[in-house]
Chains A and B, each alone.
Chain A
Amino acid sequence: DAGVIQSPRHEVTEMGQEVTLRCKPISGHDYLFWYRQTMMRGLELLIYFNNNVPIDDSGMPEDRFSAKMPNASFSTLKIQPSEPRDSAVYFCASSLIIAEQYFGPGTRLTVT
C-alpha cells in the first residue's frame, strides 16, 4: 500500500488567498483525521471523519476552515481566506483499527 498521500507537499500563498489541501487515505480505512502542527501548539486535531461523515470538528479554528470528504478515497481541507497565522504543517491520517492512526507526509503551508 502507498500509505496516506497528501498534496501538495509545500504551499506558499499570499494572505487572503484560498488554499486547498488534499488527502488520499489508505484504502479500506474508514476514519480520516486532519491535524495541524506548529511549534507553539504542537499537534492539534482539527476534524475527523467516519465513513465520509464528519464526526467531530471542534478543533477547527474558525469559519475560514472547512473540510470535506466526498468519497472514501479523498478529502480536502480548505482555508479561505488564508492568514499568516495559518502557517503550519497540516497532516492527514487514516485509521481502520480504533485509535491506530497512520499519517501522511504532511503539507507545509506558508502564508505571507
Chain B
Amino acid sequence: AQSVTQPDIHITVSEGASLELRCNYSYGATPYLFWYVQSPGQGLQLLLKYFSGDTLVQGIKGFEAEFKRSQSSFNLRKPSVHWSDAAEYFCAVGARDDYKLSFGAGTTVTVRA
C-alpha cells in the first residue's frame, strides 16, 4: 500500500519570500501524485497533479511541484508567497490501478507581513 510523509507540520514564511513544502511517498511503482490546499473552514482544492511525463508540473495560484523518482519526493514550491497562501497543504499519492488516495498529515503555512 502507498503512504505519504510530510516532514514539516508547520512553516512560517514572510510575504514575498519563496516557499517549499516537502513530500515523500512510499510506493512500489510510479504513483499518481497530488497537492491539495485547504483554507480554514473550506474543503480541499486540487493545486496540481503528476501522472506521467514532464517531472516539473505547474498548478494553479503560481505553484509548481517536481517529481523526483530517485528521492521518492514530490515537493511543492512557490517563488513568491502572498498572504492568501496561508492555509494547510496536503500531499497525496494514488496507485495507477486504484481510485483511492493516501494523504499526508498536512503542512500548515503561516504568512507573516
Interface residues of A (CB under 8 A from B): 4, 31, 33, 42-43, 45, 48, 50, 55-56, 91, 93, 95, 98-106
Contacts and interface: CB of A to CB of B under 8 A. Distances in A.
Contact of B43 (A31, A50, A56, A106): A106
Interface residues of B, number: 20
B99 A103 contact: no
A71 to B, nearest CB: 19
Contacts of A48: 99-100
B44 to A, nearest CB: 4
A3 to B, nearest CB: 9
Interface of B: 32, 34, 36, 42-46, 49, 90, 94-96, 98-101, 103, 105-106
Contact of B106 (A42, A45, A99, A101): A42
9 tightest A-B CB contacts, nearest first: A99-B94, A103-B43, A103-B44, A99-B32, A43-B103, A105-B43, A42-B105, A31-B99, A106-B43
Nearest to B90: A43
Given A43-B90, A100-B34, A95 B99 contact: yes
B66 to A, nearest CB: 19
Nearest to B104: A42
A66 B74 CA distance: 35
B42 A99 contact: no
A101 B42 CA distance: 15
A42 to B, nearest CB: 5
B44 A56 contact: no
Nearest to B42: A105
B93 to A, nearest CB: 9
A43 B49 CA distance: 19
Contact of A98 (B45, B96, B106): B96
28 contacts: A31-B99, A42-B106, A43-B106, A45-B100, A45-B101, A50-B99, A55-B99, A56-B100, A98-B32, A98-B96, A98-B99, A99-B32, A99-B34, A99-B95, A99-B98, A99-B99, A100-B32, A100-B34, A100-B49, A101-B46, A101-B101, A103-B36, A103-B43, A103-B45, A104-B43, A105-B42, A105-B43, A106-B42
